[in-house]
Chains A and B, each alone.
Chain A
Amino acid sequence: MKLSFKRIWGIILRHLYLLKHSFSRWIDLLYWPTVDLLLWGFITIYLQKDFYPEGKWVFQFIGALIFWNILIRAQQGLAVGFLEDIWARNLLHLFVSPLTITEYLLGLFIFSLFKAFIASLLMAIIATFAFNFKIWLQGIDIFLMVFNLIFFAWSIGLLTMAFILFFGQEAEILAWALALFFLPFSAVFYPVDVLPKFFQYIAQFVPTSYIFETMRKVLLEGEVSYVLILKAYFLTIIYFFISVVIFILSFNFAKKTGKFTKIGE
């Protein structure tokens, strides 16, 4: 059956309405990225000024923060969006309608993009005025890296949703925790070679480690390593495919065991 854009829009609309009525969700979307950026931005300025005047720490840290926030917003936009339907006990209503699982996921993907866009736009504006860091002047390759982060974020989000369907609502903490598991191996704020050997070995299989290495090269040396970006895409495509398969298996498992009707109760 053909995809229905109206049904995809229905899912986006449901989450836009929720955002419209919820002050706390706006706070979550705008407040934490602002605090993160200002706090780490000023700490970095202080360190650079008083201890390492030769370094280019500010841009490196701010760039890393913006990138990491894009990943977190896209991942949470997906996983928490799914949880919103569980908390509202709305999942059952959605899936007794003609909505297909592909349409539902596409709706959540687009909404998570919207959330990531809002948060990163805000951070980019603050970074411009507070730290004179203009992320959009770093070249078109920035977008190549951002798309990779978003795809990896969706892979983590899908995996979180699969765990929730399989293990029940007890697994909902993963919506906030799972992405953080990849943080040390992603080398967000430091190069991979400062990691212990075993962590470096793990980092080879984490696509974000290549993206953050590339980002540092762009910001510090003005060079782009397409080999690293290709490696990141290769791994991300594999992880995205595996996540989709695991999610579909969990979705069918929840329907087979009757968990789907109990989730959220």
Chain B
Amino acid sequence: MKPILKVENVYKNFGSKIVLKNVSFELYPSDILGIIGPNGAGKSTLLYILLNIITPTSGKIFYFGKDFFKNRSEILKKVSFASQYVSLPYSLTVEENLKVFANLYEIKKADKKITELLDLFRLKDKKKVLTRALSSGEMMRLNLVRAFLNDPLILLLDEPTAGLDPEYVKYISELLKYLSKDKQLAIILTSHQLGELEKIINKALLIKNGITLAYGTLTELFKKFKVNSLEELYFKILT
């Protein structure tokens, strides 16, 4: 099987500060990769490079076998992103925000799709509500609805469960796991909630100061470092 995302020796520096040093990994359909590291490790920078929001100093990125930097617009039709730290315009209603993005992703039958997704993420009754009236948890779920508008093949999530009630953390985690299996969706996510992360990821990339300290499937990593949980792995490698 060919990888749907191949990252080769991505290097990034801001002036004299090296943020990422030759990061490489591969992602296959249904993979869920956790990018794990302390604050300032370079996790968000890596996600933004994978979205062409930050330009890498060097390195190559291939989505679906195509060079990302030569086929950005075409590739981003099937890649999505959601973050706890990026909001949607507050002055628009939930429905209006989603209609704008449905146009940006050229979604056909957008109204039907929006209704289905609002139902799936339990936001159906918020359709006509101004976005500013949403709680932080509802805002994150709206971000996820937006991210699923284009039926992505790869989903990038920055702290997707931060600020959510435990009930929703469980619901979102199970939903992501289900979609990954059922729709062959590949997911890359960052999170500090190691317990929740361990339940859904099958691969991990551990980075510190921009340097990859470990990468592989959870089974391989647990065996290699002789640990029984992601938390143990974190403390053994990253502290």
Binding site for B on A (CB under 8 A): 1, 4, 6-7, 9-11, 13-14, 17-18, 21-22, 84-85, 88-90, 92-100, 252, 255-258, 260-261
Contact = CB atoms under 8 A, between A and B. Distances in A.
A95 B125 CA distance: 29
Given A18-B91, A97-B104, A260 B130 contact: no
A98 B73 contact: yes
Interface in B75-103: 76-77, 79-81, 86-93, 96, 99-103
B58 to A, nearest CB: 12
23 contacts: A1-B73, A6-B106, A10-B100, A13-B99, A13-B100, A14-B89, A14-B100, A17-B93, A17-B100, A18-B92, A84-B89, A88-B88, A88-B90, A92-B86, A93-B81, A93-B88, A95-B52, A96-B76, A98-B74, A98-B76, A98-B77, A98-B104, A99-B73
B54 A97 contact: no
Contacts, number: 97
Given A21-B130, A260-B53, A98 B105 contact: yes
Contacts of B72: 98
- The 7 A-B pairs at the shortest CB distance, nearest first, are namely A10-B103, A88-B89, A97-B104, A10-B104, A98-B73, A98-B76, A14-B100
B28 interface: no
B103 to A, nearest CB: 3
Given A94-B104, A98-B104, A14 B14 contact: no
Contacts of B168: none
Measured as residues with beta carbon below 8 angstroms from the partner, the interface class of chain B is: 35 or more
Contact of A7 (B14, B53, B96, B103): B103
A179 to B, nearest CB: 25
Interface of B: 14, 44-45, 48, 51-55, 72-74, 76-77, 79-81, 86-93, 96, 99-106, 130, 146
A4 B51 contact: no
B55 A256 contact: yes
A260 B48 CA distance: 10
Given A10-B101, A14-B89, A93-B81, 8 more contacts: A4-B106, A6-B103, A22-B91, A88-B88, A90-B89, A96-B80, A98-B105, A261-B53
A17 B105 contact: no
Contact of A93 (B14, B86, B99, B102): B86
A160 B174 CA distance: 46
Given A88-B87, A88-B89, A90-B89, A258 B103 contact: no
B93 to A, nearest CB: 8
Contacts of A93: 81, 86, 88, 101, 146
Contacts of A95: 52-53
